[in-house]
Chains A and B, each alone.
Chain A
Amino acid sequence: MRAYLPEYELKPAASLTEALTLLSDEPGVWKPFAGGTDLMVLFEAGKLLHKKFVNIWNLPELRGIEVTPEFVTLGALTTYTDVQANEVLQQEFPMLCQAASETGGLAIQNRGTLGGNIANASPAGDSPPALLVYDAELELVSTQGSRFVPYNGFHTGYKQMRMREDELIKSIHLPRVSKPLLHYYRKVGTRKAQAISKICFAAVTQVDASEIKEIRIALGSVAPTVIRCSRTEDVLRNRKVNAETISAARLELAREISPIDDIRSTARYRLRVAQNVLEDFLTSLN
């Protein structure tokens, strides 16, 4: 059944301060509304349970990409189109650009935002695995001030986050790394554009004398949240890539992820494909 329109409120906010004041005056009553690419889908399907929103789409305080020697800082309203157009991101965080280019089609990329993707907290988001392996930090802001939290561990369960009801995501910080890393990103979906992923895999690594030195792996759509696979990373660190390493890593990955059957795929398929993509990544290092 379609939503009953007069039940829904979308309040304009003239500034970030005004939006934050609304969030803190009535905690839990108001939720931020950005590009709408997730919320409007639920709304039209009559499944948007929350009914009072504050519009943050027009707030300049939440936009823009800033580059300093240590960090690239992305305003929470950075769209997928903004991500793809940024040269520093293309050079240093290519998987984020690739994830952005594989999210929806152009019209979605023009409206969907990184902050929204994180706060929507879907385990099937395309950019969160890349943000996890790039060691992103989030700046959360409220009328009390702002605080930084690591993105790893931010999602605590399905649609659960370490964020208070009076807070919103202000920006995403990516630490810049000077040493050369190998980046590997793979989204498996039903078709190239628009599809929501069946599994999504992101990894960065540094290989020295054919031995894996640094490694970070994250997956989407294989657990209640996007996850860093630190135990699989432990299995791979300081190892040469050979058949034995690959099979040990495949085994550990199977223990670390917990895929389910849903409308897009099955647990069996997801497990097998996650292992195969991991193997493809490892094989690509030789």
Chain B
Amino acid sequence: MADASRKVEINCKVNGEARTLQVYPMARLLDVLREELRLTGTKEGCGEGECGACSVLIDNVLVNSCLVPVLQAEGAEIKTIEGIASGEQLHAVQEAFIACGGAQCGICTPGMVIAAVNLLERTPNPSEADIRTGLAGNLCRCTGYMKIFEAVVRACQKQNSEARIQNPE
């Protein structure tokens, strides 16, 4: 088979760190994250944009990394599940997933957490409908979703009560 393309240099930030990659331009961002950068927290489920297991944030926009050719990540800031906690301090969403039993087998969890964090950044007080819409692109085959919804509600309450403590009226 004739090789049409050559590897190109891609510069981007991943979880705050500047990275330079030598990659084929059509390589899936998912594969580059997992195989080149060894960030294996991002999972592959369906590989066709149906399940959300590979969700990451590009410039704070939720995407399926299995559908993004790495060329389109040039100059972008990418955030993966590895960048959600601050050091040892878990994000409120991660803590709530643990407390509510929102994670079971774990394959959907990184994508769910990314989608939930993104939802709470866009909509600090989501309605139940907002939560369902925000997570509609993420499939879970274990929990039946209720514990995941509960976790998002809990994280939201915690974030908002902390915001009140920091900014008393």
A108 to chain B, nearest CB (A): 6
Per-residue interface assignment for chain B, residues 15 to 52, with 1 indicating a CB less than 8 Å from any chain A CB and 0 otherwise:
00000000011111000000000000000000111101
Residue of B nearest to A195 (CB): B50
Does chain B have a CB within 8 A of A5? yes
Chain A residues with Cβ below 8 Å from B105 are: none
Does chain B have a CB within 8 A of A183? no
- Docked pose: A9 CA to B55 CA in angstroms: 24
Stretch at the interface among B63-71, B87-95, B140-148: B63-71
A4 to chain B, nearest CB (A): 6
- Contact of A106 with B2 in the complex, beta carbons under 8 Å: no
Knowing A8-B5, A51-B4, say if A107 contacts B55 (CB, 8 Å).
Answer: yes
Knowing A37-B67, A45-B48, A111-B67, say if A7 contacts B136 (CB, 8 Å).
Answer: no
- Contact of B64 with A108 in the complex, beta carbons under 8 Å: yes
Q: How many of chain A's residues have a CB under 8 angstroms from any CB in B?
A: 36
Chain B residues with Cβ below 8 Å from A192 are: 136
CB within 8 Å of A: which B104-152 residues: 115, 133-134, 136-138
- Contact of A107 with B64 in the complex, beta carbons under 8 Å: yes
- Contact of A43 with B64 in the complex, beta carbons under 8 Å: no
Instruction: Out of A4, A8, A33, A108, name the residue touching B137 (CB < 8 Å).
Output: A108
Chain B residues with Cβ below 8 Å from A27 are: none
- Contact of A57 with B72 in the complex, beta carbons under 8 Å: yes
- Contact of A55 with B134 in the complex, beta carbons under 8 Å: no
Chain A residues with Cβ below 8 Å from B24 are: 5-6, 8
Does chain B have a CB within 8 A of A243? no
- Docked pose: A37 CA to B49 CA in angstroms: 7
Residue of A nearest to B5 (CB): A9
Does chain B have a CB within 8 A of A12? yes
Does chain A have a CB within 8 A of B84? no
Does chain B have a CB within 8 A of A10? yes
Per-residue interface assignment for chain A, residues 107 to 141, with 1 indicating a CB less than 8 Å from any chain B CB and 0 otherwise:
11011000000000000000000000000000000
- Contact of A10 with B49 in the complex, beta carbons under 8 Å: no
Does chain A have a CB within 8 A of B12? no
Does chain B have a CB within 8 A of A181? no
Instruction: Out of A7, A12, A40, name the residue touching B5 (CB < 8 Å).
Output: A7
- Docked pose: A53 CA to B4 CA in angstroms: 11
Does chain B have a CB within 8 A of A67? no
Interface residues of A (CB under 8 A from B): 3-12, 33, 35-37, 40-41, 43-45, 51-53, 55, 57-58, 101, 104-108, 110-111, 192-194
15 new A-B contacts, CB < 8 A, other than A33-B69, A101-B133, are A3-B26, A4-B1, A6-B5, A7-B2, A12-B25, A36-B67, A40-B49, A55-B72, A105-B137, A106-B134, A107-B49, A107-B55, A107-B115, A111-B64, A193-B133
Interface residues of B (CB under 8 A from A): 1-5, 24-28, 47-50, 52, 55, 61-64, 66-69, 71-72, 74, 115, 133-134, 136-138
Can you report 18 A-B residue pairs in the complex whose CB atoms are below 8 A from each other? Answer: A5-B24, A9-B4, A9-B26, A10-B26, A12-B74, A40-B28, A41-B49, A44-B28, A44-B47, A55-B69, A101-B133, A104-B137, A105-B136, A105-B137, A106-B133, A108-B137, A111-B68, A192-B136
